[in-house]
């Protein structure tokens, strides 16, 4: 090679290097939300990419929380996993015990990014933290269940929104007597019927304070007031006081309510925005906290939704990009964008107080969403109501759904169904404990 060509080559290399450095660092984020909520996730990614030139986040929808977690695990084995994954509450214990993550509080400290972690609502942040308070994943889309009701149907029947399950049953009877075809659109849900119900009533679903105090836990929900509640639901179904509405059956409970077919349904506050858009001012509706049985001292419900986990095995540049994205999400502007365009609640005190101060929750379409925070903070979390830390919980939820559906179809009693679900779920817990024999929850 001549001296001239050598010089040209050197210049080419320098220019190429300069061009390479100008390229943003790319990293992937797999999320589970779909539909309108998934669209808003994508918009947060677009806003981040447009806000700076150093990083490019590639956001890939996985069509469901379970898919996001399971696909990430499969991709991890092939070293093709994303840098960030949106994982729902049910996968928390599994991810914690895997150890294959970069604790977000540690990552932000490593990259010199200050986040006021004390500003996060304890009931939300504690769900994703170790026993010593180290935050493992970033609180993001947080919710809790609500009772959605048709104001016009209730007023026509002369009833007020029920605060107890006894009053709720009376409301169903009155609505039916008043000519309503569908008083209650129901879909079996472990999150609402079991987990949040147990939190609000201050009863455990498993020993060891719902798994927090040891891997050798066992489910006990087949011995609590949960049994009575599910037997009531079965009876209401038999007495035509509720209708099972599922997507597989043609119209799910949310849409049955939003189309004005049914007077009640229970769902996440995250559906608030979607319900508002579907109703399109065709009738008046509102939300309230889920009822409790008479004689119950109501407790706080617990956070649902998902958090953002940063997975292990990535480069420093990718982690730097992930830290920048999480810092972007933590800004008041991003929190406001997320809360405004979804039904989710703020995860920080300052975010909630700022919205309250400007009257955000006093007007449509946001009025009523503040009740979700009232439910989450109704009491200080107790060892029973701070959350759930049980391995293989995703599969255990399926066991509950399968058995409850069998009971609703008349194949067995509700007690038999819950006994079977507990037996099978305890086998899952036992297998999980043996997998991590000798270890403790962090």
Domains of the chain and CATH, by start: 25-143+304-364 (3.40.190.10), 145-302+381-436 (3.40.190.10)
Does residue 254 or residue 437 have the better pLDDT?
Answer: 254
Distance CA 201, CA 67 (A): 31
Length of the chain: 442
Beta-carbon contacts of residue 11 (< 8 Å; ≥ 6 apart): none
pLDDT confidence of 250, banded at 50, 70, 90? confident
Q: What SS3 class is residue 279?
A: helix
For tokens 């008479």, the residue is 294
Phi and psi angles of residue 105, each rounded to the nearest 5 degrees, phi first? -65, -35
Q: In the structure encoding, which two tokens stand for residue 302, read together?
A: 């617990």
pLDDT in tens, 269-328: 989 988 999 998 899 999 999 999 999 999 999 988 889 999 999 999 999 999 999 999
Phi and psi angles of residue 241, each rounded to the nearest 5 degrees, phi first? -85, -15
Instruction: Return the ∠ at Cα 170 (arms to 167 and 176), rounded to 5°.
Output: 140
Q: Give me the mean pLDDT over the 407-427 stretch.
A: 98
The pLDDT of residue 20 is above 90: no
pLDDT confidence of 132, banded at 50, 70, 90? confident
Distance CA 228, CA 236 (A): 12
Smallest CA-to-CA distance from 331 within 83, 52, 127, 130 is with 52
Q: How many CA atoms lie within 13 A of 31 on its CB side?
A: 24
Q: What is the pLDDT of residue 33?
A: 92
Summary mean pLDDT of the chain: 91
Beta-carbon contacts of residue 230 (< 8 Å; ≥ 6 apart): 193, 404, 407, 414, 417, 418
Entry pTM? 0.86
Phi and psi angles of residue 202, each rounded to the nearest 5 degrees, phi first? 65, 35
Q: What percent of the chain has pLDDT over 70?
A: 95
Q: Give me the mean pLDDT over the 333-343 stretch.
A: 90
The pLDDT of residue 14 is above 60: no
The pLDDT of residue 5 is above 60: no
For tokens 């070293």, the residue is 79
For tokens 């189309």, the residue is 259
Q: What is the CA radius of gyration of the chain?
A: 24
The pLDDT of residue 186 is above 90: yes
Q: What is the pLDDT of residue 155?
A: 97
The pLDDT of residue 12 is above 70: no
Q: Give me the mean pLDDT over the 181-190 stretch.
A: 97
pLDDT in tens, 29-59: 999 999 888 999 999 999 999 999 999 999 9
């Amino acid at each position: 090679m001549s001296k001239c060509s050598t010089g040209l080559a050197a210049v080419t290399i320098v220019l190429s290097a300069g061009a390479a450095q100008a390229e943003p660092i790319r990293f992937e984020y797999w999320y589970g939300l779909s539909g309108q909520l998934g669209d808003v996730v994508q918009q947060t990614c677009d806003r981040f990419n447009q806000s700076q030139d150093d990083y490019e986040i590639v956001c890939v929808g996985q069509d469901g929380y379970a898919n996001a977690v399971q696909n990430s695990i499969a991709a991890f084995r092939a070293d093709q996993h994303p840098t960030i994954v949106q994982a729902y509450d049910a996968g928390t214990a599994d991810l914690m015990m895997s150890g294959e993550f970069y604790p977000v509080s540690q990552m932000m400290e490593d990259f010199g990014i200050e986040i006021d972690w004390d500003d996060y609502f304890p009931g939300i942040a504690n769900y994703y933290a170790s026993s010593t308070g180290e935050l493992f994943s970033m609180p993001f889309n947080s919710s809790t269940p609500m009772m959605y009701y048709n104001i016009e149907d209730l007023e026509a029947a002369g009833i007020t929104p029920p605060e107890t399950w006894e009053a709720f049953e009376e409301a169903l009877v009155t609505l039916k007597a008043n000519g309503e075809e569908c008083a209650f659109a129901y879909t079996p849900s472990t999150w609402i019927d079991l987990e949040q119900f147990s939190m609000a009533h201050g009863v455990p679903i498993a020993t060891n304070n719902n798994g927090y105090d040891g891997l050798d836990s066992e489910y006990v929900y087949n011995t609590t007031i949960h049994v009575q509640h599910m037997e009531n639901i079965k009876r209401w179904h038999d007495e035509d006081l509720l209708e099972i509405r599922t997507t597989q059956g043609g119209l799910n409970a949310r849409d049955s309510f939003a189309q004005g077919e049914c007077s009640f349904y229970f769902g996440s506050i995250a559906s608030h925005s979607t319900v508002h858009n579907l109703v399109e001012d065709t009738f008046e509706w509102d939300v309230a906290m889920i009822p409790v049985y008479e004689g119950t001292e109501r407790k706080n419900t617990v956070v649902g939704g998902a958090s953002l986990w940063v997975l292990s095995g990535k480069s420093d540049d990718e982690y730097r990009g992930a830290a920048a994205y999480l810092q972007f999400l933590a800004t008041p502007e991003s929190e406001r964008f997320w809360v405004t365009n979804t039904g989710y609640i703020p995860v920080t005190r300052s975010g909630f107080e700022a919205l309250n101060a400007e009257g955000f929750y006093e007007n449509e379409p946001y009025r009523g969403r503040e009740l979700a925070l009232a439910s989450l903070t109704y009491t200080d979390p107790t060892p029973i109501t701070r959350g759930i830390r049980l391995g293989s919980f995703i599969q255990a939820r399926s066991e509950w759904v399968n058995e409850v559906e069998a009971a609703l179809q008349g194949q067995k009693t509700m007690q038999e169904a819950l006994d079977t679900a507990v037996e099978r779920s305890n086998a899952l817990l036992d297998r999980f404990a043996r997998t991590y024999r000798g270890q403790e929850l962090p």
